Amino acid sequence: MDTAWREQIAKETDCAFRFDETARVLYSTDASIYEIQPLGVAYPAHADQVSRILRFAYERGIPVTPRGGGTSLGGQAVGRSIQVDFSQHMNRILEVNVEEQWARIQPGVVLDELNAHLKPMGLLFAPDVSPSNRANVGGMIGNNSCGSHSIIYGKTIDHVLELDVVLSDGTRTVFKPVGDREYGEKAATGGLEGRIYREIRRIAHENRDEIEARYPRIMRRVGGYNLDEFTGDGPFDPCKMIVGSEGTLAAVTEARVNLVPLPAHKALSICHFSDLVESMEATVEILKTDPSAVELTDKAILDLAKESPAAAHQRDFIEGDPEAILMVEYYGETEGEVTDRLDALDSLLREKNLGYACVRATTAAAQSNAWAIRKAGLGLLMGMKGDTKPATFVEDTAVSPEKLPDYIRDFRDIVHKHGTVASYYAHASVGTIHIRPLINLKEAEGVTRMRAIAEEVRDLVLAYGGAVSSEHGDGLVRSEWNEQVFGPRLYEAFKAVKAVFDPNGIMNPGKIIANQKMT
């Protein structure tokens, strides 16, 4: 591509840019297996600059990738595009309304910083991704992120009230739920925005039966576009299409998000199992006790923690040599209430003869110690010595939790059939188990094996009525499967959604609608 446009875009948009090799190398990766050098990096300070960047790109067909903390695991934060980095200057908390429990923020706000600001007010932005010290709320909106407490709080989509967006042609607008009258007015307007209102409802309604038939019936699905949010006749909320769209439809420049009260009391029990599948059977029972979290950590991670100077002391609570532990957490109004719930958990597991020990963490220090091991899991795995690493490609599947014991058994069989082993961890409460087969991706044989496992896992997930992307998104690694996962008709509907929002195809191309194979 000729580079004369670089000077021109900096001048016309009045925005800071970098096109040097160092910047392009820095932005060539996220936390996925992909590495692609961008065309350059923009550092907008306000929405008008974002609007000018998109208009410039739209007129010339230059791809653009919005970017937050760059912690995506699927490759959706990288591309041969202009990276628009919201984390540098558009990272302010603009307003908090304590009474009505909402905050107005810029997209580059880091999750931990937002929650540290809210803590003295007794409030919380609830979706809790593990890399909370780096992930931006804009990136969480892009991926429809969530975490350990999604069983009670849901996903980011459940906490977005209003979005200021820049459409692909540079138009600035505000998206929020609208009733019939306002919908009619919006749909009657000309230009890109009016077309979005008219077409999204039409596409969703024309595909209502297929959406009903093909979308997995589980809370944890983030792959594809959220057409399932538009099949009803209630208020029309375009935010629901932007959340989880991985920067492929519009750029978010401001968000009004819902807040929840901080829990009054918490208690944690770490249940130990000598078998992984047994821990999944226990999960099914534990879910009957209304926990606020049930998180799996397997022996692979616990063993790595033993060898890590930073993490070794944090696993002091472990008894024996478990194959798996479940961290089971309860929220309650009083100390007595959460203690009673831990007692009930002990009785339940004893009665069902599941697990061999439950260790309580009742103080804040003991709880944060145990959570630290869970949060450190991926870092410990990635630090594994040698070229064979726990690869990120089938790590994001989910099934309905009661299917977990059979599903994990079948998944493990696939991994073993391909001559390797995997690590298993994460959100058992909602059927999302992050599974990372050990593979050497520096060898061609490893890449071939990765693809073979991915295809079999995709089919397994479909057979179980689950989702291939349940929190990390489609990115470059899973978009290829969307046609098989949702079926050809809905994939055409996804293409139609993309074409409505982004007629010139500049917004983060190749994500959700694939333009290449995963390998």
Ligand X SMILES: Cc1cc2nc3c(=O)[nH]c(=O)nc-3n(C[C@H](O)[C@H](O)[C@H](O)COP(=O)(O)OP(=O)(O)OC[C@H]3O[C@@H](n4cnc5c(N)ncnc54)[C@H](O)[C@@H]3O)c2cc1C
Give me the residues that bind ligand X (CB under 6 A), please: 30-31, 65-73, 76-77, 86, 107, 129-131, 135-136, 138-140, 142-143, 145-147, 246-247, 251-252, 378, 471-472, 508
- Residue closer to ligand X by CB (options 125, 414) is 125
Identity of the residue, 196 or 342, whose beta carbon is nearer to ligand X in the bound complex: 196
CA–CA dist 84, 51 (Å, integer)? 11
Nearer to ligand X, 207 or 367 (CB): 367
Q: Please give the angle made by the CA atoms of 502, 155 and 250, to the nearest 5 degrees.
A: 15
Residue 161: CB minimum distance to ligand X, A: 16
What per-residue string of b and e applies to 79-102 under the rule 16 or more CB within 10 Å gives b?
A: bebbbbbbbebbbeeeebeeeebb
Looking at beta carbons only, is 293 or 460 nearer to ligand X? 293
Tell me how many degrees the CA angle 70-76-81 measures, rounded to the nearest 5: 90
Please report how close the Cβ of residue 335 comes to ligand X at its closest, in angstroms: 28
CB 16: neighbour CB atoms within 10 A? 15
Nearer to ligand X, 159 or 341 (CB): 159
Residue 172: CB minimum distance to ligand X, A = 13
Least distance CB 144 / ligand X (angstroms):
8
Give the nearer residue to ligand X in terms of CB position, either 28 or 274. 28
Q: Is 518 helix (H, G, I), strand (E, B) or coil?
A: coil
CA distance 14 to 44: 9
Token reading at 440: 């050497």
Residue nearer to ligand X on the CB measure, 249 or 453:
249
Quote the least distance from Cβ 163 to ligand X, whole Å.
9
Minimum CB separation of residue 98 from ligand X in Å reads 25
| Cβ-based neighbours of 257, under 8 Å, separated by 6 or more | 102, 103, 105, 125, 137, 159, 160, 161
77 contact partners, CB below 8 Å, separation of at least 6: 30, 32, 65, 67, 68, 70, 71, 139, 247, 475
CA 257 to chain centre: 17
Give CA–CA dist 393/155, Å, rounded: 21
Shortest approach of ligand X to residue 67 CB, angstroms?
A: 4
